[in-house]
Each structure stands twice: as structure tokens, then as C-alpha cells.
Chain A
Amino acid sequence: MNKMIVVSVAISVLIIGGALWLASKSSSGASGEATVVGGIQYVDISAKGGYSPRVVTAKAGLPTVLRVSTSGTFDCSASLVIPKLSYQKFLQASGTEEISISPEQAQGTMQGLCSMGMYNFQIRFE
């Protein structure tokens, strides 16, 4: 019995370790930058089965437009929530949604997520 407990714990530790390793690996990838056109900063994010890019760096204090595009998006990522802006909208399955962010709001880190919370993205205003 003791041997089995050891084996059981060893397997469990392995699985947890593996999951953590996978999680840390995938969250480091996929980042992007905002583009500035005519004094307005654009942040483009596509939403389908999650958001991409996951992390976008942008300049703080600029009038910003967040463009979220969907194409055949029927999952949770269509249900967009941005807590800092008190924004919540169910996006059309296909299309582009423009959300304006004022210079005052374009500060610090802004989280966007789907209404169930399992997908998220970050805009880092620096």
C-alpha cells in the first residue's frame, strides 16, 4: 500500500508539474504592439477561441481605439468584457467592433476577457 501511495503521489506531482510547465510556456508567447495613425493609437485583437495577441503594448495617454475582430466566433470570446471600462458586449459572430479608450483611461494595464473569464488579453500602456 505504501508503495502505491508513493507511486500515486509521484504521478500526481508529474502531472501538476507538466501542466504548470505547459501553462508557463504558452503564456509567454503571442504579444503585439499598437499602431499609431494620425495621432490615434489602434490596438487590433482577433477573437476566436481566445484572443490574439494576448499582450499588446501601447503608449499611455494617447486616444486609443481597440478593434476586436470576429470571424465565425461562437465561443465565449465573442462575449467581451473590459472591467476597467465597464464595457460588456456580445459581439456579432463576424465583424469588427471598435471600442474607444480615452487618453485618461489609457493608463496602466487594461484587462479584457470573455464573460466566463477563461480567455483574456492585456493592453499594457507604457
Chain B
Amino acid sequence: MPADQKTYTFHVSGMHCNACILMTESELKDVPYVTNAKSSLSAHSVKVTGDFGDKTPEVIAAELTQVLRPHGYALTVEKMQKDAGWGDFVYALPIALVLIAGFIALQKAGLANLITSSSVSYGTAFFIGLIASVSSCLAIVGGLVLSLSASSAKEGGTWRTQTLFHVGRLGGFFILGGLVGLLGNSLHLGLTANVVLGSIVALVMFILGVNLLDVFHFTKRLQITMPSFLSRHVVQGSKHDHYLAPLLVGIGTFFLPCGFTQSMQLYSLSTGSFTQGAMTMFVFALGTLPMLALLSFGSLNIAHKPWKGIFFKTAGIIVIALALFNLANALATAGIINPLFNI
């Protein structure tokens, strides 16, 4: 190693995935005076070797940050104060519990009984959508939206990721609803698939929820084991310039185990026409939009407020609670455990 080569270790913010290691390393190695760069995901650091002349580490960090900024990373000399923010829990825990109690009360209120009509017009489909988004489906669809959008907002995601998700959901319901009507074949999944999917969604929500709490470092390792399309593309969609992933997740919500969605699919099936099936499902999805949009754009908005720490911890607690709720329900449906809840 020539005498004028020096090695510095910088802390990287914004590094979450295996791809980030390659990305930061290759970008840094492209800098003329850098001879080697080695990133570590677990330590959130990068070791940079090169001929830096007599620049101070601060200057180097600032220069290299310029290189990485477009990809959403930043280098600092000091490890950013890793404040787990335990103090935030003082507010977050009661708030989360009040919201969870509100959710349970909403279920107990018997909203489903508000649907008095037994035939389905577009108006009814919209109304059923409205009801669905605040009742039982809130646990799984709303929980997923909250966990994904809060995580996305936390990682610096923009309105585009969230919008694409909703566009995907509306478009997916239209097209798939049309197909259900046209083919006369129900696309909803069987019991086993339902249980498996329910468990997977619960698990993803649990991991995202724990990450939102931001107190346990071992989950960063768990995150790697998450489906890479979720951790990379959806959560950090804005950084990696992916349009497809949030769209696909939006379309995928068509298959989530939600009773209301399934009964709407059953109705679409009975129409036997593409247009009617498509419109019914689209209008239903439109009915669920206000609540889901509130969750996703609300998260995005709050992510820039000074009390965002409280918000992320509150969201984390709620998402974990919903994940456990969904998991217990999935296991009960499979007949593995007795039902724990009845709301």
C-alpha cells in the first residue's frame, strides 16, 4: 500500500439491503482517488481506502456523500446518535392502545349490519367498500398498508410509491374483477392458500412493525430474509426507481383474505360480464380508498413532522398487534389453535 493511502471508516445512513452493499461499494470505487471500498450492512459502515491528500475526514465524507446522494445514502464521520427513542413510548404506547381499542370497538359496533340491501348495485358495492375498509378488512389490508407506507415514509419514500400502490389496487380490482365476471371463475383462494397467505402477510407485518419500533437491531438481519421485492422495491421504492413493485403489491391486495372482497368477487362472478364484474370490483375498491389513502398519505405527511418518532413507534405497536391478531386468526382457521378472538 503506497504511503499516501489512508483508510477511513464512515457511517452510512440509508443502507438496508444486500444490494446496498454492492451499490455503495461500486459507486465509491468509481471515485478517482478511492482505491478500495468495503461496506458492512450490519455495522452500517463503509471502509474507504484511497489517496485523500490532506483532506479532513469531514471533507471526504461530504465529498463522497455527493456521489451517493442520488442513491439515497449519506456518509458521516461520527456514527449518527443512535437514539432508540425510548421516551417516545411514553406517548406511543397509550396512543396505540387507544387506537387498538377503537378498532375493537368498531368491530363490536356491528358495522356489517348497516348493509341492509341484499342485491348489489354499484352504490351498494361502494358502500360495502366503505364498511369493509373500517371493519374486519382493516386488520389485514389496512394493517398491510399502514406497515408498508409507514416503513416507506421512514426510509424517505415519496408520494409516488404510495400513489402507485393505490393505482395498482384500483386498476387490479377493475381488471381482475372483469376477468372473474368474464370467465365465470372465482379467483379467490382456497382454504390452505388463504391460511398460508394470511400467515405470510402477518409475518411481513410483524417484521415491518418491529422495524418501525426501531429499538431492536437484530431485525435488520431479519429484513434481509424478507422477500427482497418487498424490502428493496416497495419500502424504498422511491430510491430505486421502481414503478412496478408498488403497483404489483396494490394488485395483489385483490387476493388478500378479506371477507368483503371475496363476497364482491362472488357477486362479480354471477354477473357473467366483464364490464359489470370490473365495475363492481372497481367501485368496491374505490369505497375502500378513503380509509387506505388516509393511512398511506397520512403516514407520509407525519413522517416529516417533529413528532414523527412517536408516530413510527405508535404505528409499529399497532402493526405488531394486528400481525399477531392476523396470525392467531390464520392458525384458528386452519384448526391448529382455538379462536382467541371474537369481535
Bound CA–CA A5/B328 (angstroms): 30
| A112 shortest CB reach to chain B, Å | 10
With CB as the reference atom, state the residue of chain B lying closest to A117: B329
| B220 shortest CB reach to chain A, Å | 27
| Cβ B101 vs Cβ A111 within 8 A | no
Bound CA–CA A115/B120 (angstroms): 22
Does A120 reach chain B (CB closer than 8 Å)?
yes
* Segment of A34-42, A60-68, A77-85, A96-104 engaged in the interface with chain B: A77-85
| Cβ B328 vs Cβ A74 within 8 A | no
Does B111 reach chain A (CB closer than 8 Å)?
yes
- Interface magnitude class on chain A: 35 or more
Does B98 reach chain A (CB closer than 8 Å)?
yes
Enumerate chain B residues within 8 angstroms of A15, measured Cβ to Cβ. Answer: 94, 97-98, 101
| Cβ A48 vs Cβ B113 within 8 A | yes
Give the interface centre of B131, B326, B329, B330 by most chain A CB atoms within 10 Å.
B329
| B85 shortest CB reach to chain A, Å | 13
With CB as the reference atom, state the residue of chain B lying closest to A26: B108
Bound CA–CA A76/B115 (angstroms): 13
Give A30-72 as 1s and 0s: 1 = Cβ < 8 Å from B's Cβ atoms. Answer: 0000000000000000001110001000000000000000011
Bound CA–CA A84/B108 (angstroms): 27
| A96 shortest CB reach to chain B, Å | 13
| Cβ B118 vs Cβ A94 within 8 A | yes
| A105 shortest CB reach to chain B, Å | 14
With CB as the reference atom, state the residue of chain A lying closest to B188: A90
Bound CA–CA A77/B306 (angstroms): 42
Chain A interface helix/strand/loop/mixed: mixed
Bound CA–CA A84/B338 (angstroms): 12
Which of B117, B259, B266, B328 touches A77 (beta carbons < 8 Å)?
A: B259
| Cβ B259 vs Cβ A81 within 8 A | no
Give B251-295 as 1s and 0s: 1 = Cβ < 8 Å from A's Cβ atoms. Answer: 000000111101110110000000000000000000000000000
Does B90 reach chain A (CB closer than 8 Å)?
yes
With CB as the reference atom, state the residue of chain B lying closest to A78: B263
Which of A18, A54, A84, A118 touches B107 (beta carbons < 8 Å)?
A: A118
Does A126 reach chain B (CB closer than 8 Å)?
no
Enumerate chain A residues within 8 angstroms of B326, measured Cβ to Cβ. Answer: 116
| B86 shortest CB reach to chain A, Å | 9
| Cβ B339 vs Cβ A79 within 8 A | no
| Cβ B263 vs Cβ A111 within 8 A | no
- Beyond A75-B112, A84-B335, A116-B136, is A12–B341 a contact (Cβ under 8 Å)? no
Where the two chains meet, the residues of A that have a C-beta atom closer than 8 Å to any C-beta of B are: 1, 4-5, 8-9, 11-12, 15-16, 18-19, 22, 26-27, 48-50, 54, 71-79, 81, 83-84, 88, 90, 92-94, 111, 113-120
12 pairs across A/B with beta carbons < 8 Å? A8-B94, A19-B100, A26-B108, A27-B342, A48-B113, A49-B110, A75-B131, A79-B263, A90-B266, A111-B332, A117-B341, A118-B139
Q: Given A8-B90, A117-B330, A118-B136, 7 other A-B contacts at CB below 8 A?
A: A12-B94, A19-B100, A74-B112, A81-B333, A84-B335, A111-B339, A115-B191
**A-B pairs with lowest CB-CB distance, top 4:** A76-B259, A83-B335, A117-B329, A49-B112
